[in-house]
Amino acid sequence: MIALTIAQIAHAVAGEVHLARADTLETAVSGAVDTDSRLIEAGGIFVAKPGADTDGHRFVDAAVANGAAVAIVEHVVETAPEAAVTQIVVPSAVAALADLARAVVTRVKAAEELRVVAITGSNGKTTTKNLLARILEGEGETVAPKASFNNEVGAPLTMLRVTEDTRFLVSELGASAPGEIARLAGLIDPDVAVVLMVGMAHAGGFGGIEATFQAKSELVRALRARGVAILNADDARVAAMAPLAAEREASVRWFGRGPAATDVRADDVVVTASGTSFVVTADGVSLALRLKVLGEHHVMNALAAVAAATALGVSLADAVARLETVEIAERWRMQPLGSDRIRIINDAYNASPDSMAAALRTLAQITGPGERTVAVLGAMSELGEYAEEEHDRIGLLAVRLGIQRIVVIGPDARRMFLEAVAQGSWDNEAVFFATADEAFVYLQSELRDGDRVLVKSSNSAGLRFLGDRLGESFS
């Protein structure tokens, strides 16, 4: 974080200061900010956030032991004498985290040449963020989220890593309810807004696909005046956000694979087990690109990254060269494991109907003659009233794609198994297990040379750990 005095921090978060030791209001603090006491380092700021399972106020002593210089708390914490620390008391630690992030980004944007990109969409946010960060790192210091730090806590923590030397801030903005993207985007006044797609992810929380559209469009509404909107020309709902960009006097860059993608487009797409090759055209210049990240659906994420990067002045040649160095999108996202004998694709960090369908299509595309497709599937979360219908659709799709073994795990995913059986996956082509441990025992004896195995579920189903176990077992 940039250096701020205790007085400046307190002003930013509207907090009441309780000084400790030799601190004064003019004492400068420049360490990293975190809500996890275990990650605090010397000079850092610990935000004591109450949580569902525990309360950060219990760990102020531990944060101080790790070097915390300031604690932002919701009430004064009595510490051991050796753990005395300046405390700033606020009504809400989470709100204070956001307020501090806004203050830091605003200061850096005012004083330095910092460009801010915000990315949202029902699927592809983390991959696009990583691809864009790889491109921009070649231009100057770039701050981007770790893993999927995209909520009311993770997004501000990323923003607070900005320093005077940071040239680019890439923010990934997720949401499970209306208004969340608007609040997060409002902290950073984005120069570039990227909207990838509007799909069924989190539809249960939003209340349907149209409400999801409204929520995702909050990012375009939050774009700074005369900024740039990067919009998916192939998604009718995303394309319908163009008038919102016009209200901000923002320019629009269209990306996609269809004729409406007038700025950045992909042609001649070829999908293999080692990646995807295509020709990318940006502003009339065409270059071949070989993306090592598995899955045809990641072509759109790469196009979005190219569209944003070129809007920021990066040449297409540099963007392509840097994208070709990316090995995987992120751990547990289309991550190749196992061996050439039995290939495991662990894509079980997140799942929605769109990403589940894309992963299954990829499995079918990359499996060659003499090889067998095996789909290990768990539940898709946050679908609300749409859960049964969407799980049925995935079971049907797996059968229609000719997936030869369908392994469904967990009671919340059982509808996929029942639908697969109803559609003709008989004679143990589709099997169901209540737990991942039971499925692991089955798969250890069932998998054979030439199998290509997809492990896919929402994070809450926990199948990413099953994917890791299978990868290690068959390495």
Q: Read off the CATH number of the domain in which 308 is found.
A: 3.40.1190.10
% of the chain exceeding 70 in pLDDT: 98
What are the C-alpha distances in Å from 169 to residues 69, 118, 189, 312?
A: 25, 8, 11, 12
Residue 99 covered by a domain = no
pLDDT for residue 204: 60
Residue 192 covered by a domain = yes
44 and 140 housed in the same domain:
no
118 and 160 housed in the same domain:
yes
Consult the annotation and say whether 123 binds a ligand: yes
- Contact by Cβ (8 Å): 91, 76: no
393 and 360 housed in the same domain:
yes
Other beta carbons within 10 angstroms of residue 24's beta carbon come to 11
Residue 293: closest CA among 324, 337, 255, 256: 324
pLDDT for residue 268: 97
pLDDT higher than 70, residue 82: yes
Consult the annotation and say whether 86 binds a ligand: no
The mean pLDDT of 29-50, rounded to a whole number, is: 96
pLDDT for residue 199: 82
Q: How far apart are CA 343 and CA 346, in angstroms?
A: 10
pLDDT for residue 449: 96
298 and 366 housed in the same domain:
no
Q: Read off the CATH number of the domain in which 455 is found.
A: 3.90.190.20
Count of domains in the chain? 3
**If you search the block for the tokens 């069924």, which residue do you land on?**
200
Among the candidates 289, 323, 357, a domain finishes at 323
The mean pLDDT of 128-133, rounded to a whole number, is: 97
Residues in Cβ contact with 66 at an 8 Å cutoff, skipping those fewer than 6 apart:
37, 38, 40, 41, 42, 44
Between 329 and 375, the more confident residue is: 375
pLDDT higher than 90, residue 51: no
pLDDT higher than 90, residue 21: no
Report residue 422's pLDDT band, with 50, 70 and 90 as the boundaries.
very high
The mean pLDDT of 360-373, rounded to a whole number, is: 95
Consult the annotation and say whether 456 binds a ligand: no
Output the pTM of the full model: 0.91
Looking at residue 153, the DSSP 8-state letter turns out to be T
Residue 17 belongs to domain spanning: 4-94
pLDDT digits (tens, 9 = 90+) for 232-265: 999 999 999 999 999 999 999 999 999 999 999 9
Consult the annotation and say whether 274 binds a ligand: no
Average pLDDT, rounded, for the chain: 94
The mean pLDDT of 80-97, rounded to a whole number, is: 93
Residue 107 covered by a domain = no
Q: What are the backbone dihedrals phi and psi of residue 385, each rounded to the nearest 5 degrees, phi first?
A: -65, -15
Q: How far apart are CA 473 and CA 338, in angstroms?
A: 7
Consult the annotation and say whether 121 binds a ligand: yes
344 and 199 housed in the same domain:
no
Consult the annotation and say whether 457 binds a ligand: no
pLDDT for residue 329: 82
Between 340 and 304, the more confident residue is: 304
192-195 and 228-232 beta bridge pairing: parallel
315 and 383 housed in the same domain:
no
pLDDT for residue 203: 61
Consult the annotation and say whether 276 binds a ligand: no
User: Any idea which of 12-26, 194-208, 379-393, 420-434 has the lowest mean pLDDT?
Assistant: 194-208
